[in-house]
Amino acid sequence: MSPIDWICPLLAIDADAFNHGGTPEFAAISAVALRHNDISNTLSTAPDRFEPIHRRDVNGDIDPRPWCQGFYAAMQLRLSAWAPLLDAANVNHGLLLPILLHSRDDQHADHRRRGSSYRLRLSQEK
């Protein structure tokens, strides 16, 4: 996927910002690209040195929701590519369930009550 296809939606800026250096939008694009390249380099050369940054809740526990919501937002960019894993009949469907459950906006939902009947409505790819 081209950087323009994911950086602009991430930052909620127009793709034309790639063409105009010296703007705040271009500075944001550059910062994201540099961070992305740094993470990619670390994962490629020294994966044991990588330490993800996670938000913590008031008790100090890791809050997985922001990461999962970001992952889900990225899935939306190419939802058709994720279709096989979104099919409940696929043996690997369960791999996405924790991410999908933590992607919900309602922070206080009791997911244990929902059991296996819990389903997310996924929008169709544009």
What whole-number distance in Å separates Cα of residue 105 and Cα of residue 26?
30
CA 65 centroid distance within chain: 10
pLDDT tens-digit map of 48-96: 999 888 899 899 999 999 999 989 999 999 999 999 999 999 999 999 9
pTM: 0.67
